[in-house]
Amino acid sequence: MDFTLSEEQLMIQQAAKDFAQNELLPGVIERDESQKFPNDLVKKMGELGFLGMMVNEKYGGSGLDTLSYVLAMEELSKIDASASVMVSVNNSLVCWGLETYGTEEQKEKYLIPLASGEIIGAFCLSEPEAGSDATSQKTTAIDKGDHYLLNGTKNWITNGNQAEVYLVIAQTDRDKGHRGINVLIVEKGMEGFDIGPKENKLGIRGSDTHSLMFNDVKVPKENRIGEDGFGFKFAMKTLAGGRIGIAAQALGIAAGAYELALQYSKQRKAFGTEISNHQAIAFKLADMHTKIQAARHLVYQAACDKDAGNDYTLSGAMAKLYASEVAMETTVEAVQIHGGNGYVKDYHVERLMRDAKITQIYEGTSEIQKIVISRSILSD
C-alpha cells in the first residue's frame, strides 16, 4: 500500500512535532517525577485541535482522517506518552464513541466541548475483577423507569479526575449476558459519584489515573448511548479503534527512543571512536530501525483500513500487538546503548522504557490481542 503522505498530513505531523519539542519537552522529566497532569498543555492542545482530530467540524472537531491522528500521536508520544494517552482516550474512545453512536442531543451537549478541548472525557470499562472483559462487568445500571441506578467500581481510568464526562459500561440485565450491557454518560459531580486517589504508576506518571466509585448514582435515561443492550457492541467497536491510537503511541515511544540512541551513538566515544562505529552498536540500531519501520506500516495500515471503511479489528490488533512489543524492545536497547547514562533521568530513555510497558497492557494485553488475531484468521 502507498503510504505517501498528503501535504495536509505532513503539516499535521510537523505541527505535532513542533508542539512536542517546544511545549511538551520542557518540564517532561519534572512532570514524570511529580506525577503532574499538564493542565496548561492540555488547554493548548485543545486550541490546536488535537483533542477532537477526527470529529466533524460541525461538532467542534478538526475533521481529519485517522492517519493524520496517528501521525500526531506518534510525534507527541516521542516526547511525552503521558500527554499522548490523554489525547488518545479523548479522540479514539470518548469523541469517536459519541459521534458514531450518540444522539444529536448528546453530541450537542457533550461532543462539542470535548472535541474543542473545553473539557476532556474518560472511558470506563476496566474493573478490579474484570479488567477489559466487557462480558464480566460487576458494575450495574438498574433500570428505574426514567433513570438508571448506577453502582460499582471502575479502575485504571485515564483522565479519571480531570475528566468532566465519563462513558461508563455497566450491566443492566445479567440474564441477557452481553446483550444486557449498556453504556451511560455520567457527569462529574453527580451525587454518589466518587473519585479515588491517583495511582502511583511505573510509567506514564503524568497521566491522570484513578479508580471511580458509583453508589446509587442516578443517570437519566437520555444519557444512555444507543438502544437498550447496546453497551457490549459499543465497547468492542470503540476498543477496536482505541487500539490504533495506542499502537501509534507505542510507535512514537519506540521511535523517540531510537532517535535518542542514534544521536547518542554518534557522540559517545569508546576505544578511540564513536560507539556507532562498533558493530555491536550498529547492529542494534539496524534492528531497531527495521522493527520500527515494520511497526509503522502496520499502524498506518490499520489507520487506512479505518478511513476506508474496512473492518479494522484484525489490522488494529496486529498493529497494537507488534508496535507495543517493538516499543518495549527498542527502549530497552536504547537504555543499553546509552550505558550508565541510560539509567539517568536526564537522558530520557529510562522514562521511555517505563512508559513503553503500559502499551502492552492497556486497550487489552498482548495476550488479548493474540486472541483477537487468532479468532479472526481462524474464522476465515
pLDDT digits (tens, 9 = 90+) for 326-341: 999 999 999 999 999 9
**b/e code 244-257 from CB counts within 10 Å (16+ = b):** bbbbbbbbbbbbbb
Name which of 268, 264, 261 is nearest 284 in CA terms.
261
Report the distance separating Cα 237 and Cα 182, nearest Å: 14
Q: What is the mean pLDDT of residues 266-285?
A: 96
Q: Which domains does the chain have, with CATH numbers?
A: 7-120 (1.10.540.10), 122-231 (2.40.110.10), 233-378 (1.20.140.10)
* DSSP 8-state assignment for residue 40: H
Spatial neighbors of 28 by CB under 8 A, at least 6 apart, are 79, 80, 206, 348, 351
Q: How far is CA 101 from the centre of its chain?
A: 20
Ranking 16-25, 113-122, 172-181, 280-289 by mean pLDDT, the lowest is 172-181
3-state secondary structure 47-91: HCCCCCCCCCHHHCCCCCCHHHHHHHHHHHHHHCHHHHHHHHHHH
How confident is the model at residue 58, as a pLDDT? 96
Res. 90: pLDDT tops 90: yes
Res. 47: pLDDT tops 90: yes
How confident is the model at residue 133, as a pLDDT? 67
Q: Where residue 136 falls among pLDDT bands split at 50, 70, 90?
A: confident
Report the distance separating Cα 179 and Cα 150, nearest Å: 18
249, three cell numbers: 503511541
List 7, 259, 363, 367, catalytic entry: 363
Res. 2: pLDDT tops 80: no
Is 123 strand, coil or helix?
strand
Q: Where residue 208 falls among pLDDT bands split at 50, 70, 90?
A: very high
Report the distance separating Cα 252 and Cα 71, nearest Å: 9
Residues 232-266 have pLDDT tens digits of 999 999 999 999 999 999 999 999 999 999 999 99
* 30 a catalytic residue: no
How confident is the model at residue 343, as a pLDDT? 97
Report the distance separating Cα 93 and Cα 237, nearest Å: 9
How confident is the model at residue 379, as a pLDDT? 86
**Over the Cα atoms of the chain, what is R_g?**
21
How confident is the model at residue 129, as a pLDDT? 77
Spatial neighbors of 5 by CB under 8 A, at least 6 apart, are 13, 67, 71
Name which of 133, 127, 124, 122 is nearest 91 in CA terms.
122
Q: What is the mean pLDDT of residues 39-64?
A: 96
CA angle (118, 245, 349) in 5-degree steps: 100
Is 371 strand, coil or helix?
helix
Q: Where residue 73 falls among pLDDT bands split at 50, 70, 90?
A: very high
Length of the chain: 380
